[in-house]
Amino acid sequence: MMAFEKGEISPLCQPFVGSRRERLDRCDDPTSDPYSKSGSQSRFSWNSRTQLRKRGKINILTERGYENARKRLFERVEELRELSRAFCCQDDKKCEERFNRVTVKLCEPHPDPNAPDPCSFGGTFRVPGRTYRGIFAQLRDVTAEEPEVSEIRRLAERNLPAQSAVDQMSSETHSIGSVVLTSYISQDRGLERLEPVILHEFGHACSLVRMKTWALDALASPLESMNEADLSRSLRATQWLDSARRRCERDLELPTAYEDFWLALGETRSLSACLKEIAIANRDGKVDRHCSGVCPGHYLEEASAIAFALLTGDLTGSFASVFPNTCDHVRDGQHPMVSDVVECLAQHSPRFRDRLNRAYGCSESATVRVQ
């Protein structure tokens, strides 16, 4: 039985965050969950620039003398892009080309230093509507009559506007999406502390790039040369794209394309199943306190991005490390506890266990043991 099924913190995270899960549960809390569905009762508010400055955080877009910090940050972003792209694409050239078109920018702070500032968040991955419309516009034009292709075309058509003027939407030159990073950093080695955030957002970019690439496989080569497995994967990727706008529907059938995703990255079916179980357990109220605002589709996507960061980032405990520094990241309406994802990786990812062993100088015969 997994730790989260027993109401416990992962044994790997316990030394760093303690054993009280309730301390990391903010789902539906009207004061601390930005995704709370409490409606008019929600009292959540972002911190202002003035409040953050009192806590030792400064904004590198408004603070004088931080031009070099911005330059160093974007240099590091490109290094982490290279690392993320290699893990995500596994030498797939189309994937690499699309990953390179993910833009990265800093959030522009609110001009009023005393106003709540959403730029205080860590980061987000934003996908313009034209990206989805462009993909669906191409898929709508597939003419073969195989059952998988007919369903791909049906899903594409229902996601497109009635008018047919979508010629420019399919361009392969525009950005596929944007990573938007907080412009607030701690004065104590703050740039390094952004590394887990950058890798997490590149994880979101990876899932989109992979799904786009697989969906368009139905167009990339003559259908007679595609086997049934390729067509089925294209359909699953199209279903993933189709579900993106409906991730908060509680009766949403969670996309099966994540299994394709993790297998392509060299991971296991059991890891994919474990991450899906996190989303299902939270949706069904089987872990932690009841949360009316749980978005099951987001939970699965966020769990995947958390896992991506843990499989690519530093694990040695430095300022830039993903583990154990993110063990205290909380449950809210869209994010599972990081501890739960660590548990899935510890149980089902040989790559993660091997990286931990090497990070902590374990012998070749040693293993990281979890209860």
pLDDT at 230: 87
pLDDT at 41: 63
* Strand (E) or helix (H) holding 306: helix 296-312
Long-range own/partner contacts, residues 148-153 (CB < 8 A, 24 or more apart): 148/218, 148/228, 148/231, 148/232, 148/234, 148/235, 149/218, 149/223, 149/231, 151/235, 151/238, 152/215, 152/218, 152/234, 152/235, 152/238
pLDDT at 168: 47
pLDDT at 81: 98
Residues of the chain with pLDDT below 50 are 167-170, 364-371
Q: What is the pTM of this model?
A: 0.93
Q: In this structure, what DSSP letter does residue 47 have?
A: P
Tell me: the pLDDT tens digits for 112-137? 999 999 999 999 999 999 999 999 99
